[in-house]
């Protein structure tokens, strides 16, 4: 073992202590550099010259850092929050609060009752709009592009992988999702208009849930096809997709559950939202541990 | 040589796969064999080699294990996977096709004369 090589490599990686498996990377590098050094010395090259040759063969350390993930807890905290990340919780909040104006207006006077109803529909409308916006920015908007860029940055400047194919859905699949979701919304509006099933506007919550599920299923199919076709796909993109879909399903289910339970006259129906929080946390934990391995 | 290096750089991953096709190997051994095959004209930088290893591992084209050397030092060996072999043969095919086309396009008179 040549201590000069070890010291040199240590100094090269000194500012990268938070990199995953840093010790193993260094161990592998030092071992191979030592082999090279020994071979050079055996072939009659003076040790100082051999040392210079060896360290100049390392190249750009940033290349290694670029393809290596930072430690899990680090990367999770540094995930950028874009506006559309707040759309789902905001929409759910609007759905929950929408009956409030009705209650307030009813209390004030029966003359202004209709204002409360109008406000309720207005809030539901905004909520639905946010959900649709979130869905569309997810499949074609700027957020996706940000994710792609993030991934390309992670895979180092020399990466030979084309950045274009980290999208999960191709335009045709996007169109299928769009059509299916459109049909779901039309059906929801019809159900709402004719007042079938006696569920009122909660039908829109069910429609949102159905949309997210359609999105998930199509993406899952597209993903398995892609894996079969051996195309490279960023694990970050898959994880983000999964994260947002699962969260959307949890929150929409919680909201629907809340209304059903309240309808049945169950006390403390709001506890279901605490369960929702617990579930998202458990899911987050699973994702982190998976990434750690 | 710098243009040649750039051209070869794009094939780093295929070169590594080609070296692992016959037997499992480790970083320095692969680089030694690259150097020997090219009569000392080409050699990968260590950083290039390891970033390529990580990418290949992420894509499931190779996997690694810690092997014991007689000298006692722990050494990381790489093994090509089934997917890796498929990718190698597809890349080889692509390269041969591209080589023929580029030869046709850039050789004077459009014919190959040695």
Q: pLDDT for B54-107, tens place per residue?
A: 999 999 999 998 887 666 667 889 999 999 999 999 999 999 999 999 989 988
Region B4-31: mean pLDDT is 90
Instruction: Please tell me the predicted confidence (pLDDT) of residue A146.
Output: 45
Number of residues that this document lists for chain A: 293
Contact B76, A28 (CB under 8 A): yes
Instruction: Please tell me the predicted confidence (pLDDT) of residue B81.
Output: 93
For residue A152, pLDDT over 60 is answered with no
pLDDT classification of A167: cutoffs 50, 70, 90: low
- In the numeric block, which tokens belong to residue B97? 């096709």
- In the numeric block, which tokens belong to residue B36? 């020997």
Region A1-29: mean pLDDT is 82
For residue B1, pLDDT over 70 is answered with no
Residue A155 near chain B (CB below 8 Å)? yes
Residues of B in contact with A25 (CB under 8 A): 50
List, as one string, the DSSP characters of B15-82: HHHHHHTTS-B-HHHHHHHHHHHTTTS----HHHHHHHHHHHHHTTSEEEEEEE-TTS-EEEEEEE-H
Nearest to A32 among B9, B46, B74 (CB): B46
Task: Give the whole-angstrom CA distance, residue B88 versus residue B99.
Answer: 16
Residue B13 near chain A (CB below 8 Å)? yes
pLDDT, greater one: A137 or A204: A204
Region A176-182: mean pLDDT is 82
Between A37-51, A130-144, A257-271, the lowest mean confidence (pLDDT) is in A130-144
Instruction: Please tell me the predicted confidence (pLDDT) of residue A93.
Output: 81
Instruction: Please tell me the predicted confidence (pLDDT) of residue A24.
Output: 82
Contact A138, A84 (CB under 8 A): yes
Q: Give this prediction's pTM.
A: 0.45
Report CB contact under 8 Å: B55, A158. no
- In the numeric block, which tokens belong to residue B18? 């080609």
Report CB contact under 8 Å: A158, B9. yes
The residues facing B68 across adjacent strands are B74
pLDDT classification of A144: cutoffs 50, 70, 90: very low
pLDDT classification of A155: cutoffs 50, 70, 90: very low
Task: Give the whole-angstrom CA distance, residue A83 versus residue A85.
Answer: 5
Between A88-97, A145-154, A282-291, the lowest mean confidence (pLDDT) is in A145-154
Cα angle, residue A135 at apex, residues A132 and A274 outer, rounded to 5°: 90
Q: pLDDT for A50-69, tens place per residue?
A: 999 998 888 888 888 777 66
Phi/psi-derived region of residue B60, left when phi > 0, alpha when psi is between -120 and 50, beta in every other case: left
pLDDT, greater one: B47 or A128: B47
Nearest to A68 among B45, B54, B74 (CB): B54
Between A117-131, A204-218, A220-234, the lowest mean confidence (pLDDT) is in A220-234
Instruction: Please tell me the predicted confidence (pLDDT) of residue A141.
Output: 42
Nearest to A290 by CA among A137, A80, A69: A69
pLDDT, greater one: B56 or A288: B56
Task: Give the whole-angstrom CA distance, residue A190 versus residue A70.
Answer: 50
Report CB contact under 8 Å: A27, B47. no
CA distance A117 to chain B (A): 54
Burial B57-83 (b: 16+ CB within 10 A, else e): bbbebbebeeeeeeeeeebbbbebbee
Distance of CA B50 to the CA centre of its chain: 12
Percent above pLDDT 90 for chain A: 3
Instruction: Please tell me the predicted confidence (pLDDT) of residue B12.
Output: 92
Residue B47 near chain A (CB below 8 Å)? yes
CA-nearest residue of chain B to A228? B83
Task: Give the whole-angstrom CA distance, residue B41 versus residue B1.
Answer: 9
Task: Give the whole-angstrom CA distance, residue A135 versus residue A249.
Answer: 13
Instruction: Please tell me the predicted confidence (pLDDT) of residue A28.
Output: 86
For residue A247, pLDDT over 80 is answered with yes
Distance of CA B61 to the CA centre of its chain: 12
Specify the residue for token string 């609007």.
Answer: A94
Q: pLDDT for A71-87, tens place per residue?
A: 544 344 444 456 666 77
């Amino acid at each position: 073992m040549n201590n000069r090589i070890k010291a040199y490599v240590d100094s090269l990686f000194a500012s990268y202590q938070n990199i995953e498996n840093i010790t193993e990377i260094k161990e592998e590098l030092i071992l191979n550099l030592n082999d090279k050094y020994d071979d050079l010395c055996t072939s009659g090259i003076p040790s100082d010259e051999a040392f210079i040759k060896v360290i100049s063969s390392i190249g750009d350390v940033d290349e290694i850092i670029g393809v290596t993930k930072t430690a899990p807890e680090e990367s999770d905290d540094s995930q950028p929050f874009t506006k559309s990340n707040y759309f789902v919780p905001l929409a759910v909040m609007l759905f929950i609060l929408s009956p409030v104006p009705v209650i307030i207006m009813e209390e004030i006077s029966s003359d202004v009752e209709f204002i409360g109803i109008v406000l309720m529909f207005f809030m539901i409308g905004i909520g639905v709009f946010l959900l649709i916006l979130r869905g569309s920015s997810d499949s074609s908007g700027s957020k996706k592009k940000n994710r792609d860029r993030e991934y390309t940055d992670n895979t180092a400047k020399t990466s030979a992988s084309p950045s274009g194919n980290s999208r999960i859905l191709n335009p045709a699949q996007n169109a299928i999702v769009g059509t299916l979701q459109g049909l779901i919304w039309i059906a929801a509006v019809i159900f709402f208009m004719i007042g079938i099933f006696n569920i009122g506007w909660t039908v829109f919550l069910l429609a949102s849930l159905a949309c997210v599920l359609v999105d998930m299923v199509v993406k899952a199919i597209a993903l398995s096809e892609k894996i079969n076709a051996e195309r490279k796909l960023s694990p970050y993109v898959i994880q983000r997709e999964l994260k947002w879909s699962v969260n959307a399903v949890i929150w929409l289910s919680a909201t629907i559950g809340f209304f059903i339970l309240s309808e049945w006259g169950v006390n403390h129906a709001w506890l279901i939202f605490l369960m929702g929080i617990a579930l998202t946390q458990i899911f987050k934990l699973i994702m982190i541990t998976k990434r750690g391995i | 040589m710098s243009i040649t290096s750039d051209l070869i750089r794009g094939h780093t991953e295929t070169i590594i796969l080609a070296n692992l096709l016959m037997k499992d190997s480790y970083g320095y051994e692969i680089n030694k064999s690259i150097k020997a095959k090219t009569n000392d004209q080409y050699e990968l930088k260590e950083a290039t080699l390891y970033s390529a290893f990580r990418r290949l591992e992420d894509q499931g084209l190779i996997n690694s294990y810690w092997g014991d050397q007689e000298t006692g030092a722990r050494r990381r060996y790489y093994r090509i996977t089934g997917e890796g072999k498929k990718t190698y043969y597809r890349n080889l095919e692509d390269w041969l096709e591209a080589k023929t086309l580029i030869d046709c396009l850039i050789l004077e008179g459009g014919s190959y004369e040695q």
